[in-house]
Chain A
Amino acid sequence: MQAQVTRAAIGAVGIDIVEVSDVEDALARFGERYVARVYTRAELGAASGASQGRRLAAVAALKEAALKALAPGDEAADWRSIEVETGAAGGPRISLRGGLAQLAERHGILALRGTVGLSRSHALAVVVAETAA
């Protein structure tokens, strides 16, 4: 039996850096209003605990890097339309909903692959958009 191989090419690349202190300040200043506009319930659940600010900074950096790879132009971009699972085996898993999912389909994007580096002070994320070869 011959294995079926799906060939993919790298399309656009997005990169972003987020300061952990910016996320911590936003959490302290705006609380629920901030998290409700940026993160999904699953992301919040995964980021609970003492290092919530750092974990959410990683999520925010991945979301923004994904947005840059998607290049929505002046289309409205709801951050909650991008869901990031940072604890997934093999690296962060990025899924799209709503208008951004449609945009990815129009651009022939098969998947978004991301990686994130996290220090005490910063989260740095890179996301590549995979298209059909």
Chain B
Amino acid sequence: MSLGRRAENGARGALESMGAIADSSSGMVEEIRDILRPHARLAVDVEALSPAADLFEAGMTSHSSVVVMLALEEHFDVHFPDEMLTREVFRSIDSIGRAITDLRGRAAV
């Protein structure tokens, strides 16, 4: 492996450890979309939403966000503690991804 590639991988690893990349991986984004589709009751097509788009502005209610949380817990085998039950955590696909990465990290420790 070249020094350049090694440095690139090192930087990527550091960012992943901060949860800055893992949450926006296309795999996780698609998994979250699959959960939002039946549970978030959005007023728009979930495929049309960017990962940063505001889900509450797209029609997700607080009640729907609770249902989304339950589906996420089941799918990713994580538990959202009470302190994570905020609008910021459920605001976008990206923020949900960051939360799941964080919860998986905690479980791995």
- Which A positions have Cβ atoms within 8 angstroms of B? 16, 18-19, 22-23, 25-26, 29-30, 33-34, 37-38, 60, 64, 67, 74-79
Task: Judge whether B67 and A18 touch: CB under 8 Å.
Answer: no
Q: List 23 A-B contacts (CB under 8 A).
A: A18-B61, A22-B61, A22-B63, A22-B64, A26-B63, A26-B67, A29-B70, A33-B70, A37-B66, A37-B70, A38-B66, A60-B63, A64-B63, A67-B62, A74-B86, A74-B87, A75-B86, A76-B82, A76-B83, A77-B85, A78-B82, A78-B85, A79-B66
**Which of B41, B69, B84 contacts A22, CB < 8 Å?**
B41
- Is A64 within 8 A of B61, CB to CB? yes
- How many A-B pairs with Cβ below 8 Å? 50
A30-B70, A34-B70, A37-B70 given as contacts; is B88 within 8 A of A74 (CB)?
Answer: yes
A42–B64 Cα distance when bound, in Å, is 23
